[in-house]
Structures are given as structure tokens and as C-alpha cells.
Amino acid sequence: MELLCALSISLAIVIMHYSCTLHPPGGATALIYVIGSEKIQALGWLYPFTPIAIGALLMLLVALFINNLSQNEKRYYPTYWI
């Protein structure tokens, strides 16, 4: 089990390094999948996309809400949706 944990994090770091997308939670996501319960492992390839998609969507919604609260016209984001 320890070898599989180390291998999952190592492979995640190598892939992120070569794709120039180094992001520490990527290694944690790989580790959680390896040491996680059977429910997590049953998700298969859906597991990494679920937290990533939900996190990106939440950050986008918060950014849109906060940026559009401003009274400054130049701060509205995105300008082409308005």
C-alpha cells in the first residue's frame, strides 16, 4: 500500500511537471484515490473530474458575483456577456 501511495503521488508530480501545470492538490487527489474507501475507488475516472469541475464552477460563480458587485463600469466581468 505504501508503495502504491508513493507511486501515485510521484506519477502525478511527473505528469504535472512535464505539462507545466504543477499544483500540489493534484498529488493529494491521487493519494486520496489510492487510500480512499471503496466508494471513491468505484468512481474510477469520474473521481478526479468531479472535485475539479465542482471547484472550478464554484470559483467562477464567486468571481462573477464579487466582480459584478462593484459600481465601477470597468470592473464588470465578463464584459462580453453583458
Whole-structure pTM value:
0.60
Contact 14, 20 (CB under 8 A): no
**For range 56-64, the mean pLDDT:** 88
- pLDDT at residue 77, rounded to an integer: 64
Is residue 50's pLDDT more than 90? no
Q: Where do the structural domains in the chain lie, given as residue ranges?
A: 1-41, 43-77
Is residue 48's pLDDT more than 80? no
In whole angstroms, give the CA distance from residue 82 to residue 72.
Answer: 14
**For range 70-81, the mean pLDDT:** 68
Residue 18: band (very low, low, confident or very high) from pLDDT cuts 50, 70, 90: very high
Query: Could you give the count of Cα atoms lying within 13 Å of 32 in the half-sphere of its Cβ?
Result: 12
Residues sharing a CB contact under 8 Å with residue 78, sequence separation 6 or more, in sequence order: 64
In whole angstroms, give the CA distance from residue 55 to residue 26.
Answer: 13
Contact 77, 67 (CB under 8 A): yes
